[in-house]
Each structure stands twice: as structure tokens, then as C-alpha cells.
Structure 1
Amino acid sequence: MRRITVIGCGGSGKTVLAGRLGAALGIPVTHLDAVYYDEDWKPLAREDFARRQRSIVASGTWIADGNYASTLPIRLAASDTVIFLDLPAWACLWGIVRRRRRYRGGQHRQAGVYDRITWQFVRYVWGYRREMAPRVRGLMAEHAGHAEIVVLRSRREIDRFLRPWTPAAIW
């Protein structure tokens, strides 16, 4: 594992997993929210975002966490490992609540995550497995056939996956 893509629903634990894995393996982590949004939480133009991702994956080792299905093929094609966090909606919503409590709302720049909870976002999370996950699986099949695919469906499975590299449970 030297070029790792971490994807999954909002609140599934992508940022935490990527950070712990990066620290344990000594691999730099890129949180795509921090790349996509500027300090005022305005998004990059699509081609600029794609160009930055091409630059990230051109380096020898990296972990990239974030969804962004429109540019996911860039990361998948360059990955040797893809970690798909396929948690149930309730677990993701609980993860969002925990994140909000931890950071007291707002943006925590170290991971580039802005804690903006809207009804649209809640609907997205609730429908992710039904609407978005099939698209993600299709992109993985199309662009990451060469990579090891790891699908984790619970926080317990995430802990088991991380156990060889990290000493304690993270949730």
C-alpha cells in the first residue's frame, strides 16, 4: 500500500482512517476537501481540481481521501489500494454528529472539512448506499481493476483493518 484512495459517504470515517493510516505508514495524506475548497469555502474550477489531483497521484506515495465522483477515475487509475467505506446511513449520520461535537461546528482546516449540515446533505447521506455507492462501485470496476479493493462496512471492520498499523481502536 503506497498509493491509496479512501472513499465513502460523508461521516463514514474517511478522514480519520486516512490520517491514522498515513501516520502509521509514513505516507502523506491529502484531504480532497482541503484541495477543492479555498479559505472562504469556495470550490475550485473542475479542471483546476482535476489538475491538482493529477499532480498528487504523480508522486510516489500518497493517500487521498474524499469522494468527488467526477474526478474519482484519476485517483482510481493511479491507486494500488482502494478503501471503500460502505457504512449504513445511520452510522454515517452518527459520525457527522460526533464530528460536529468534536469541532463545535465550523471548518477544521487540518482536514479541510467544513461541518455544514443541511437537509440536502442529510438526504445525500441517507441515500448514499442506494444512489451513489452503485456509481462508485462501477467506477472502481472500470478504473481500479489492477488495485486491491478493500470494502469496510462497519467501524468495527475499520478498526480490524487498522489494527496491524495502529495500537488502539479509533472510534
Structure 2
Amino acid sequence: MTAPARILVYGVYGAGKSTLAVRLAERLGLPWHPVDDLLWQPGWVEVPVAEQRSRIEAVCRRDRWILDGAYHGWRDVVLARADLVVGLDYPRWFSFWRLLRRTARRLVSGEEICNGNRESLRSVLSRDSILLWHATAFRRARRRMRAWQTDPAGPPVLLFRSPAELDRWLAGLTRR
């Protein structure tokens, strides 16, 4: 397969979107734009949606990019320009386990996530916990990816149900 130049990596929290985006960027020589860096200011202050949209539009006007997510308020911008959507459609237990493991690692290490932000025990136990977001967003994300895959008007969508399936596809990718 000839490599696409504008890729959206999509999936529920913890599926491995950012990890895959890094792998694709390295393999294909495309610039990766971490969505969290575009959406969150220091102190976990969310960038207003109009500004998010403006930032995403600026990225999507370029000829080459990888984004690791697409959210309300600007998802249409990304889908209109993407050459390919790579959907991580893993089982709920698998992505939740990955998220739980990553969250625990970040709590212990104090790893910076974006713009100086870090996870804390307080955030993990709050109503805005990423673990709760996973539980409430999983079905919507899955339905959305599957609907995109059947929409002939949208970009091509590849759904991967396991890391092994994804690795086989990655092995066949070549640079443009």
C-alpha cells in the first residue's frame, strides 16, 4: 500500500492512538500533531472550542499530517481532509486495561502529558476521570468508527481489532 499523507488515528481513550501516531510518523516521515497539545492549556484548562477548531484547521490545511484524535466541534474538519482514518477498534477490556496501566504509570512517574499537565490521584478519582470517560465514551467511539467505515462519502477507514492485525498492516506500509 502506498502511504497516505494525512492520517487520523481514532479510538477510545487508552487504545493506543498516540503510540500509533508516533509509529506512523517515524515510519512514514509525516509530522505528528498531538491533539492534547492543541486542546489543553496548563492547569488542564480546555482551549475554547472555536480556538480548537482554528488550530485544527491550520494543521489540516497542510499537505502532510497525523492527528491522534478528533473531537466535537471540529471532527468534520479532519474528516474532510484525511486520506485515511486508522481506527483502533479493540475490545473494551483491552483498551481499559491499557488505560489503567498507563494511568498508574503516569501517577507513579509524574510524566507530563501535555503543556505541563500531569495526571493526579485527584483527577483519576474525580467525576472527570479518564477512566470514567473511557466507560462512557467506548460505545460512541466504536459506533462512530464503524459508521465512518461504511460511509462512501468519507475517507477510507481501516479498523483494527487487535494489535497483531495493526502490526501486520504497519509491516506493509512504505514511505511515499
What TM-score do you get using the length of structure 2 for normalisation? 0.79
Report what 1:108 is aligned to: 112
Cα distance in 2 between the residues matched to 1:28 and 1:128: 27
Aligned residues: 165
Kindly provide the amino acid, as one letter, of the partner of residue 161 in structure 1: W
CA shift in 2, pair 1:154/1:51, >3 Å: same
Report what 2:168 is aligned to: 160
Decide which moves more: 1-10 or 151-160. 151-160
CA RMSD of aligned residues (A): 2.8
Report what 1:169 is aligned to: none
Report what 1:76 is aligned to: 79
Report what 1:43 is aligned to: 46
SS in 2 for 1:12: coil
Report what 1:99 is aligned to: 102
Decide which moves more: 113-122 or 45-54. 113-122
1:147 and 2:155 matched:
yes
Kindly provide the amino acid, as one letter, of the partner of residue 54 in structure 2: R
Deviations 1:41-87 (A, max 9, x none): 21111100000000000011000012313321110100001111111
CA shift in 2, pair 1:111/1:37, >3 Å: closer
SS in 1 for 2:157: strand
Cα distance in 1 between the residues matched to 2:101 and 2:163: 13
Cα distance in 1 between the residues matched to 2:168 and 2:116: 26
CA shift in 2, pair 1:149/1:49, >3 Å: same
Cα distance in 2 between the residues matched to 1:137 and 1:12: 16
Q: 1:89, 1:127 within 8 Å by CA — same for their partners in 2?
A: no
Report what 1:122 is aligned to: 131
CA shift in 2, pair 1:111/1:10, >3 Å: farther
5+ residue gaps in structure 1?
167-171
Cα distance in 2 between the residues matched to 1:113 and 1:5: 24
